[in-house]
Structure 1
Amino acid sequence: MACRISELVLGCRDPETLAKFWCEVLDFVVLDREGDDMFEIGPREGFGGPQPTIILSRRDEPEKGKSRLHIDVNATDRDQDAELERLLKLGARRADIGQTGEESWHVLADPEGNEFCLLRARLAPL
C-alpha cells in the first residue's frame, strides 16, 4: 500500500482572497473554513476524491526563503493562450525566474506572489 496526496497546505496573508483566486482557476469550491484564518478548497465532490484539496492557512509572517513547492496547472477546455489570458484576468501575473523564452510553459504568480506554471498540454476534465 502507498500514500497519496490528500491536501496541499499553503500559508498566506489573505486566505479568503487566495481561496477565491484558486477556486476560479481550478473550478473548486470552498469545502470548509475556520473564520478568516483557514479555507479548504477542493472539487465539488469534496475531500477524498482523485484530486487533493488545498488548505489556505493564515500566516502573518512569510516563511524565510523561497518556497520550494509550486503548482502546475493545465487547461481542460481551451488552448494554453486562451487559458493564460483567463488567468491573467483573474489576477495572476507573469513571473520571471530566469526563463529563456523557449519554454513550453508560462511561469505565473498568484495574487500573493506564489509561483505556478501553466503547462501546454490540455488535460481531460475529471
Structure 2
Amino acid sequence: MACRIGELVFGCRDPEALARFWCEVLDFQVVGREDDGSIEIGASDGFGGKQPTLFFSRRDEPEPGKSRLHIDLNATDRDQDAELERLLKLGARPADIGQTGDEQWHVLADPEGNEFCLLRARIEPIA
C-alpha cells in the first residue's frame, strides 16, 4: 500500500489573507478552521478528496532558511499569459531565483513570499 499527500502545510503570519489568495488561485474554499486561527482550504470534496488540501498555520516568524518545496501550477481554462495576468492581479509577484529568461514557466511569490511556478502546459480540470 502507498501513501498519498493529504495536505500541504504553510507556516504564515496571516493565515486568513493567504487562504483567501490561494482560494482565488485554485478555486478552493475554506474546509476547516481551528481555534488557533489556522485555516484549511481545498476543493469541494475537502480533506481526503481528489486533491490535497492546503493548511495555513499561524507562525509569527518565518522558518529559518529557504523553503525547499514549492507548488507548480498549470492553468485549466486559459493560456499561460492570461493566467499570469490573473495571478498578478490577485497579489502574486515575480520572483527571481536565477532564471535565464528562456524558461517555459514563470516563477512567482504569493503575498508572504512563498515561491511557486506557473507552467506553460494547460491541464484539464478535475471533474
Q: Which residue of 2 aligns with 1:52?
A: 52
Q: TM-score, normalised by structure 2?
A: 0.97
Distance in 1 between residues matched to 2:91 and 2:61, nearest whole Å: 22
How much does 1:40 deviate? 0.1
Give the aligned residue type for 1:20: R
Consecutive unaligned residues in structure 2, runs of 5 or more? none
Matches within 5 A, 1:1-126: 1-35=1-35, 37-126=37-126
Identity of aligned residues (%): 79
Q: Root-mean-square deviation (CA), in Å?
A: 0.8
Distance 1:8 1:100, change over 3 A: same
Runs of 4+ in 1 over 4 A off after TM superposition: none
Q: TM-score, normalised by structure 1?
A: 0.98
How many residues align structurally? 126
Give the stretch that moved more between structures: 82-91 or 31-40.
31-40
